[in-house]
Amino acid sequence: MGTTDPNRLPGAPAGVRLRPFVSELAVYAPGASSGVPAGVPVVKLSSNEGPEGPTPAALAAIAAEAPELNRYPDSGALHTALADAHGLAPNMVAASPGADMSIAYLAAAFLEPGDDVVFAWPAFVSYALTAQKQQANAIKVPLTADDTHDLDALLAAITPKTSLVYVCNPNNPTGTYVSSAALRAFVDALPEHVVCVVDEAYSGYVLEDDYPNAIEEYVKAGHPRVAVLRSFSKIYGLAGLRVGWMAAPAWIIDASIRVRGPFDVNAMAIAATIASLGDTATIERRGQENAVRRESLRAKLAAAGVASTGVANFLTVTVEDAQATTAALTQRGVIVRPLNGFGAPTKIRITIGSDEDMALAEPILVDVLSN
């Protein structure tokens, strides 16, 4: 017998066999939602949630679906709606309970123990966590000095063992983005054995002219090795229903479907998502209003000598000590995300909230961050 003790989790009874690496897996830590002293007004800006809930059409669809919850959900109508909205065939889309589950399906389909997954760091932690769960290697390539993807370094990190490469665009947690031209050059330079996954979870908030639409530029155009992730958790206000989706060549969708469970997207999520797709005016308004609030905060911080990055629904700021700054803000009612867990102990991420949220938070943020 080996010397590895499989019972390293607290409370595991003797004799029960647990895969040894499981106890070494990191557990995802969500943004904080508590810790504010009693009586202090709370503004939660830690989880990049959209400040508005489901669209009116989505709320109506949820209510209409409630009497039918005795039935198993059918994702076919959602796949058709997603495909129609983007000019794709239904077999080129797959919904999931959050875009992070699409990442898990890709890992399950493509990664064997010892394979490599390459991505910028810091970035979305699910790229690393899903690699760990497959006993694959998470190859973290540092961002540049201005917190953008180092695409040349990403290419240099790719080896014959590399199966997947992720481009988080815009990047979470820094909010920086890769331009259309830069992404095209990167994808064109990838070797043929690598699938590129472009994570556009925050794309609805990005208004820059040179920001790519990877679904149009790669999936719809027929690129055989590019998959694109989108989410309904952010600008659509459906985080609590957990629904995201992937657009990709049919063979990648086929692979992801084979490793997923049945009925993984619930009926209310399906109904709400289909309804949301038809309300483009509301989504466009939300994107514009977010930009106004984001740039207002950026300008106030800049006037106080505090620089920030971000083109989505959050800004990232460099501080002396992320934990200490987060604690100071929490004491005054503003909850933000320290990026220690992303390997960035001198950065905090600030979600852009509603008008009411920002009216309360802006003066506190300026005061604390400028001192």
Q: 239-249: per-residue pLDDT in tens?
A: 999 999 999 99
Phi, psi of 330 (to 5 degrees): -60, -40
Distance set, CA 169 to CA 135, 172, 198, 277 (Å):
26, 8, 7, 21
The owner of tokens 């990232």 is 316
d(CA 204, CA 226): 20
d(CA 200, CA 100): 12
Which residues face 165 on adjacent strands? 118, 196
Nearest alpha-carbon partner for 279 in 105, 38, 89, 56: 56
Which part of the chain has CATH 3.40.640.10?
Answer: 56-277
Q: Which residue type is seen at 94?
A: A
Q: Is the model's pLDDT at 1 over the cut of 50?
A: no
pLDDT of residue 300: 97
pLDDT of residue 35: 77
Asked if 201 and 177 count as a contact pair (C-beta separation under 8 A), the reply is no
d(CA 328, CA 325): 5
pLDDT of residue 29: 66
- The Cβ of residue 193 has, within 10 Å, a number of other Cβ atoms equal to 12
Asked if 198 and 218 count as a contact pair (C-beta separation under 8 A), the reply is yes
d(CA 82, CA 93): 7
Distance set, CA 327 to CA 34, 241, 330, 370 (Å):
11, 30, 5, 15
Q: 2-42: per-residue pLDDT in tens?
A: 444 545 677 777 777 777 777 777 676 666 666 778 888 89
The CATH number of 56-277 is: 3.40.640.10
d(CA 120, CA 165): 9
CA 30 from centroid of its chain's CA atoms? 12
pLDDT of residue 103: 97
Which residues face 141 on adjacent strands? 120
d(CA 34, CA 30): 12
pLDDT of residue 236: 95
Phi, psi of 281 (to 5 degrees): -65, -40
Q: Structure pTM? A: 0.91
pLDDT of residue 3: 45
Asked if 183 and 211 count as a contact pair (C-beta separation under 8 A), the reply is no
Asked if 178 and 200 count as a contact pair (C-beta separation under 8 A), the reply is no
Q: Per the structure block, which two tokens stand in for 299?
A: 């300008």
Phi, psi of 189 (to 5 degrees): -90, -5
Is the domain defined by 30-53+281-369 classed in CATH 3.20.20.140?
Answer: no
- The Cβ of residue 25 has, within 10 Å, a number of other Cβ atoms equal to 11
pLDDT (mean) for 293-307: 96
Q: Is the model's pLDDT at 136 over the cut of 90?
A: yes
Q: 304-324: per-residue pLDDT in tens?
A: 999 999 999 999 999 999 999
pLDDT grade, residue 262 (50/70/90)? confident
Q: Is the model's pLDDT at 355 over the cut of 60?
A: yes
Helical (H) or strand (E) element with 308: strand 308-309
The contacts of residue 305 (CB under 8 Å, 6+ apart) are: 370
Q: Per the structure block, which two tokens stand in for 316?
A: 């990232």
Which part of the chain has CATH 3.90.1150.10?
Answer: 30-53+281-369
